[in-house]
Chains A and B, each alone.
Chain A
Amino acid sequence: MERNHFLIQLFFLLVVAGVFGVLPLFVDNGTMRFLTDFFLLIGIAQLWNLLAGFGGIVSIGQHLFLGAGAYAFFAMTSILGIHPYVSLPLAIPFGAALAVPVYAILSRLKLAYFAIGSWVLAEVMLLLAGKIPGFGGGSGVSLSPSIVKTFGTSIGDRMSNIYWLALGITVFIILLIIILLQSRHGLALKAMRDNETAAMAVGVNTVFVKVLLFLISGAFLSLLGAVGTLLRLRISPAASFNITDGTIFIIFIVVVGGIGRVIGPVLGAIIFLVLRETLSAYGPIYMIILGGLAIATMLIEPKGAAGLFGRISKKIRNAG
């Protein structure tokens, strides 16, 4: 039964990836940019969901890794002269390596202090990024044309390549999480999500699992931060370490979509983008509606859209 469920998930993921994969042949650059944003949001939200939804690690400073990944990518390509297509995967070990000292500091803090500590660390990194020589200070610096052209000489080619990169990485992240959830660590994760004390009492090494999650999250956020830089074509402390885009909207996506479910961030990203496209012109009202919807979800349907769809489909099954 579980194996069938896994195969269905895998099949569905590959079909959706295939459909999105051929889209650049038919859509314009604006649509590709919109969808690239969509993929990046899903990827970042999946990683936050992995931490908070399964591991119970509530960090509000994960934009630290997005920013660090962006700066590392710039350093590797523009300063060290490493080929951009080699620099991108190198962002993964960089993020994992950075996650070690970050977690070593944060793991000494509990609950709210952990969350606040993660935010403070991200802000410290933002300030430090503006002070490092060679990175353009507070206003940042653009990627050189030669690096940008590695991804395509025309805007269309470049956009297609970045689109495929974002799609591929996000599909890989989802695949990794689905496979992880099938393993003994996945059972441990689901158990920790439901009841951490009971999980420890039946032999789950919750410290190991949390470290593993933090490393995976840091590694792939760093990669997504590097890909995000290709969209912006520049790094800057304010844009690369942006708490609103990198953490606050992500928390909204996970909460509204359904925390602790793989489908949750996908549904949440769709809801977020629909709201953004229809309401962002209204200024502060847009943010008030986002906040109100997140609070309403937590009060009325804590499992988000995924939980709501689950309940509806169960009722339909039972009625049948």
Chain B
Amino acid sequence: MSNILEFHEVAKSYGGVEVFRSIDLEVKTGERLGILGPNGAGKSTLFNLISGLTRPNKGKILFAGHEVGKMRPWAVCRSGIGRTFQIPQPFSDMTVLENLLVGLTNGANMSMREARSRGAEALEATGLAYVSKNTAGELSLLDLKRLELARAVALKPRLLLLDEIAGGLTEVECDTLLDILANVTDSTMTVIWIEHVVHALTRYVNEIAVLADKRIITRGGIDNVLAHPEVRELYFGSTEEV
């Protein structure tokens, strides 16, 4: 399987604050990769770099062989990368359906008729059809998370970036979200999921990478990563088995 995403020696600083010293990362097509890391480790910055919301100071970010590190966010989206945000970013005064139509008509360049049809499908798949005419600002947290997901998957991205989509949800809501996620993603869609809710993450991803100390400290199968001494140190304050 070929790589759909590659980071080559990517460095990122905000002023004097160094977030990444030199990151190398490869993600294969169809892979489901989870990202763990403590607060401030640069997880959201990683997504902002991929989606063009911020630019690397050094290094290259390749998506399907093309450099996206210097592209504008809308061009990155149009190239096939969809994302959600850690804190939901709805278009609050627009209806739920209109929230999807924005991307479908501007990002996917669809006619209004096609966009309405695709938008309705995405709302059905994410369980939001019942509020399609409500304004997004009125939605509950679970529905806002669903809307984030619906807005991203409606564009049928080749790479989907999920930023703490289970954060703040109850156990039952997490289960619902995982069911939806399984429903809207398939084997052709590569997914990278940043999450603190480890039990939700491990039910969906094949591999996990851990960000800390301005680098990826380990990456691999779920059990191996969670047993890694540095990860244990980070999460449990000890390298001993619990």
| Residues of A near any B CB (own CB < 8 A) | 1, 184, 187-188, 190-191, 193-195, 197-207, 260
A201 vs B101: C-alpha distance when bound (angstroms): 13
Residues of B near A203 (CB, < 8 A) are 74, 77-78, 103, 106-108, 155
B90 proximal to A (CB < 8 A): yes
In the complex the two chains form, is A188's CB within 8 Å of B102's CB?
A: yes
A200 vs B91: C-alpha distance when bound (angstroms): 12
In the complex the two chains form, is B102's CB within 8 Å of A191's CB?
A: yes
In the complex the two chains form, is B53's CB within 8 Å of A202's CB?
A: no
Q: Closest chain A residue to B51 by CB distance? A: A201
Q: Which of B52, B93, B133, B155 is in CB contact (< 8 Å) with A202?
A: B155
Q: Which of B53, B99, B112, B133 is in CB contact (< 8 Å) with A200?
A: B53
Chain B: number of interface residues, binned into ranges: 20 to 34
Q: Which of B90, B93, B155 is in CB contact (< 8 Å) with A198?
A: B90
Q: Closest chain A residue to B52 by CB distance? A: A200
A86 vs B117: C-alpha distance when bound (angstroms): 46
Interface residues of B in 133-156 (CB under 8 A from A): 133, 151-152, 155
New A-B contacts (14) at CB < 8 Å, excluding given A184-B106, A197-B73: A184-B105, A187-B98, A188-B106, A190-B91, A194-B91, A194-B94, A195-B89, A197-B89, A198-B89, A200-B77, A201-B73, A203-B107, A205-B72, A206-B74
Residues of A near B106 (CB, < 8 A) are 184, 187-188, 202-205
Q: Which of A1, A204, A207, A260 is in CB contact (< 8 Å) with B102?
A: A204
Residues of A near B107 (CB, < 8 A) are 202-204
Residues of A near B74 (CB, < 8 A) are 200, 203-206
Given A184-B105, A184-B106, A202-B106; A195-B91 close (CB under 8 Å): yes
Q: Closest chain B residue to A185 by CB distance? A: B106
In the complex the two chains form, is A200's CB within 8 Å of B93's CB?
A: no
Q: Which of A190, A191, A200 is in CB contact (< 8 Å) with B73?
A: A200
A206 vs B74: C-alpha distance when bound (angstroms): 8
Q: Closest CB-CB distance, B227 to chain A, in whole Å? A: 35
Residues of A near B92 (CB, < 8 A) are 194-195
Q: Closest chain B residue to A310 by CB distance? A: B93
B85 proximal to A (CB < 8 A): yes
Q: Closest CB-CB distance, A179 to chain B, in whole Å? A: 14
Q: Closest chain A residue to B152 by CB distance? A: A202
A260 vs B91: C-alpha distance when bound (angstroms): 13
In the complex the two chains form, is B102's CB within 8 Å of A199's CB?
A: yes
A191 vs B147: C-alpha distance when bound (angstroms): 14
Interface residues of B in 51-85 (CB under 8 A from A): 51-53, 72-74, 77-78, 82-83, 85
A198 vs B163: C-alpha distance when bound (angstroms): 13
Residues of A near B103 (CB, < 8 A) are 202-204
In the complex the two chains form, is B89's CB within 8 Å of A187's CB?
A: no
Q: Closest CB-CB distance, A76 to chain B, in whole Å? A: 38
In the complex the two chains form, is B133's CB within 8 Å of A1's CB?
A: yes
Q: Closest chain A residue to B79 by CB distance? A: A203
A204 vs B102: C-alpha distance when bound (angstroms): 8
Residues of A near B78 (CB, < 8 A) are 203
Q: Closest CB-CB distance, B146 to chain A, in whole Å? A: 15
A206 vs B53: C-alpha distance when bound (angstroms): 13
Most A C-beta atoms less than 10 A away, residue of B53, B91, B101, B152: B91
In the complex the two chains form, is A191's CB within 8 Å of B51's CB?
A: no
Q: Closest CB-CB distance, A286 to chain B, in whole Å? A: 33
Q: Which of A190, A191, A194, A202 is in CB contact (< 8 Å) with B77?
A: A202
A198 vs B83: C-alpha distance when bound (angstroms): 9
Residues of A near B94 (CB, < 8 A) are 187, 190-191, 194
In the complex the two chains form, is A187's CB within 8 Å of B105's CB?
A: yes
A80 vs B212: C-alpha distance when bound (angstroms): 70
A199 vs B77: C-alpha distance when bound (angstroms): 10
In the complex the two chains form, is A198's CB within 8 Å of B108's CB?
A: no
A202 vs B108: C-alpha distance when bound (angstroms): 9
In the complex the two chains form, is A197's CB within 8 Å of B98's CB?
A: no
A184 vs B102: C-alpha distance when bound (angstroms): 7
Q: Which of B77, B90, B99 is in CB contact (< 8 Å) with A201?
A: B77
Residues of A near B108 (CB, < 8 A) are 203
A38 vs B90: C-alpha distance when bound (angstroms): 36
Q: Closest CB-CB distance, A110 to chain B, in whole Å? A: 15
Residues of B near A205 (CB, < 8 A) are 72, 74, 106
Most A C-beta atoms less than 10 A away, residue of B85, B98, B102: B102
